[in-house]
Structure 1
Amino acid sequence: MCPTPAPDGRHWDGSPRALRRPRTLRVTTTSPSRLLRAGQTGRCRHCGSRIDLYPRPDQRPIALHPAELTVTDVPKSCRWHLSGGIAYPHGDNSAWCRIPHAVLCPHRTPTCQAGTRLEAIRRQLAVRARRLIDTGALTPAPPVTPQPDAPQPGGPDRPVVQLLLCRYLAQQRLEELRCVAQTRHRHRCPHPVLAPAGPTGMWKLLPTTARHGQLALPDALMAVYDLGHLAYGEQLRWRTQRCPAHATAPGAADLALACWEPFDPLLHAAHIHTRLPHSSPRPHRRG
C-alpha cells in the first residue's frame, strides 16, 4: 500500500500546521547607532586579541576590551560606558565599566597608571599574542611609514575626503569603499559606495587649514577629494557609507562601522599628498 502524503500546511494526521512568519528586524529612525552587535567584534592587528568597536559621540571609532571590569580596578580617566550603542568617555555611576583596548594592548605603552588587575590582564594578552606569533597565526601590522609623494593612479590608498564641511581620512581607496548596510539575506551589501553613473567629487589641492577644531599645518597644500559641491543627501550617503539603494532604506541596520576617521594633519601626516592623482575615482563598467 502506498502512503498518502500529508497536504501542504498540515501534519501527517491532517491537523493544521502552525506557520510562523519570520519577523523583520529594523532599526528605529531615532536610534543613535545603526550598528548591529554582530558588526562590532574584531581583532587587534597588533596582538590578535578580541576587541569591540563602538562609535564615540563625535563618530570616531574606539576599540574597547570585550569584558566589563569593576570601577575600582580602572582609573577614572580610562572608564567608558555604553548607551544606545555609543561609547562615552566616563563612568555611568555603576559598579562596572569598559576600558579601551589600547590600555591593555601589550604592543602599546599604557596611557594611564594600571593597577594589579590591569597588569594581570595585560600579561595574559601578551602571552597569548606571543603564542599566536610563534605558531604563525598572527603577523603584527608593520608601522606606517610615509610613502614617496608621487601621483598614484586612481588616488592614494587612504585618501582625504571633504564632505559635510569636515575632512575625513578613509581606511581604503574610494573605489573599494563598500556599503555597510545589511541586506534582506542578513549579509553585508556587496555594492560600492561610489555609484557607477552618479555624481562624484573632484580632486583639489586645498590648504591644510583648521576645520571645526582640527589642527593645521601652515602654508601647505594637500590633495583632497572634495564632495562639498554635492547635495546634502548625497554627502550624507557617503558619510554613512551606503550605496544608492540603501541610502533610501533608513530601517536597514549596519554590519560594520563606516571607514571614516576625522582627519588631523599632525596625526595623519604620512597620508598627506601634495600632488593630484592621475585620474578621478569612478568604477569601470564591465561590458
Structure 2
Amino acid sequence: MSRRLWVHPENSSRLLRAGQTRRCRYCGNYVDWHYKADGSPVPLVPQEFPARQIPDGKRWHLSRGTVYPGDGGSRFCRIAHTAVCPAADESDTHPRLLPVRRHLAVHSRKLVETGTWARPAEAPTVSATRIADHTTSGPDREVALMLGVHYLAPGRIATLRCVALTPDKRRCPGTLLAATTPADAGRWRTVPVPYSGGLGAQFAGEPMDAYDLSALTYAQQLRWRWQHCMAHDRSVAPDIELTEWIAFNATDHAEYIRKELG
C-alpha cells in the first residue's frame, strides 16, 4: 500500500520523511537525520528519552523539523546517535548514556547474526565525525569552499547529483553543474587548509585544492549548499535525499587534501 508524503509548510527542511531514516553504516542501527539551523545534518536516535536522565550538553529537541541543542523546555528530548554509537570509542561515551550504547551494541550483534546487516571492514572504532558522515566514502571525494565553509563532497564535484524529488518519485538525475553558466559555477584554486583541532592542526595553512564558489552570490551558493540543480533551484519540489556535503575536517579527512593545482 502506497503512502502520500509531503513537506509541512512550516518545516524549514524540504526533506521528505522517507529520506530521513537510514541505518548507521558503522553499527547498523536506524538513525533519524535532521538539519540544524545552519543546514548541517545531525543523526538522532529515533526514540525520545526523559530529559532528566540525559546529561546537559547531550540533549536535542525538534522544532518544525529543525533540530536544536537542549530539551526546549520539554520533559523529553532526543540524543545524537554519535554520542551512543557502539562503533565509537566507549571512553567517549558519557557514563549516563552507557545503557543506551550497550542496548544498541546488542542490537548490532543481532543484525549481524541474522544476516540483516554486515559490519564494514574498517577499524574497530571510528570517530564521531566519521559516524556523522552519512555519505559513501571514496578516494575521489573533492572539497568545495562556499558560504565561508570548506565542505567535502561525496565524490567528484562534476558528478554531484541533485537531491530533489522528480514527478515520477525518483531522485533527480541532474547534476549541480548541468546547464550552468560561468556565472553560476565556481573555479578550482589553491586555498589554505582550515584549522581543526587534534591531528589535523598540523595541516592548517598548507595549500590544498578546492572548488571555490565564494565569488558567487549568496543565493547561488545556497543552491550549491542545498544540492539542487538549475532546474530545481527555485522549485517547490521536496528533497528525497539528504544533502551530501559534510564539513571538511583535516583530522578525519586528511586523505582528501590534494595539491595538484600548485
TM-score (norm 2): 0.78
Kept in 1: contact 2:163–2:243 (CA 8 A): yes
Kept in 1: contact 2:7–2:14 (CA 8 A): no
1:122 aligns to 2:122 (yes or no): no
Inter-CA distance 37–217: structure 2 relative to 1 (3 Å threshold): same
Q: How far apart in 1 are the matches of 2:112 and 2:156?
A: 29
Kept in 2: contact 1:74–1:114 (CA 8 A): no
* 1:84 shift after superposition: 1.7
Work out which of the residue numbers 8, 12, 24 in structure 2 matches 1:44.
24
* 1:203 shift after superposition: 1.9
1:268 aligns to 2:253 (yes or no): yes
Q: Which amino acid aligns with 1:252?
A: A
Structure number with greater Rg is 1
**SS of aligned partner of 2:57:** helix
* 1:184 shift after superposition: 2.4
Inter-CA distance 94–141: structure 2 relative to 1 (3 Å threshold): farther
**Equivalent runs, 1:159-178 vs 2, <5 Å:** 159-178=142-161
Q: For residue 131 of structure 1, what is the aligned residue in structure 2?
A: 110
| RMSD over equivalenced CA pairs, Å | 3.0
Kept in 1: contact 2:144–2:150 (CA 8 A): yes
**Equivalent runs, 1:127-276 vs 2, <5 Å:** 127-136=106-115, 137-140=117-120, 142-143=122-123, 157-195=140-178, 198-199=181-182, 200-209=185-194, 217-249=203-235, 251-276=236-261
Q: Indicate the structure with greater helix content.
A: 2
Inter-CA distance 87–216: structure 2 relative to 1 (3 Å threshold): farther
Q: Deviations over 1:46-74 (max 9, x none)?
A: 11000001112232211100011111221
Inter-CA distance 27–276: structure 2 relative to 1 (3 Å threshold): farther
Q: For residue 34 of structure 2, what is the aligned residue in structure 1?
A: 54
User: How high is the sequence identity, in percent, across the aligned residues?
Assistant: 42
Inter-CA distance 53–141: structure 2 relative to 1 (3 Å threshold): farther
Q: For residue 70 of structure 1, what is the aligned residue in structure 2?
A: 50
* 1:99 shift after superposition: 0.6
Kept in 1: contact 2:142–2:152 (CA 8 A): yes
**SS of aligned partner of 1:81:** strand
Kept in 1: contact 2:188–2:212 (CA 8 A): yes
* 1:258 shift after superposition: 1.1
Q: Which segments of 5 or more consecutive residues in structure 1 lack a partner in the other structure?
A: 1-22, 145-154, 278-287
**SS of aligned partner of 2:150:** strand
* 1:235 shift after superposition: 2.4
Q: Which segments of 5 or more consecutive residues in structure 2 lack a partner in the other structure?
A: 127-137
Q: How far apart in 1 are the matches of 2:223 and 2:24?
A: 28
Q: How far apart in 1 are the matches of 2:142 and 2:121?
A: 20
Greater displacement, 156-165 / 76-85 = 156-165
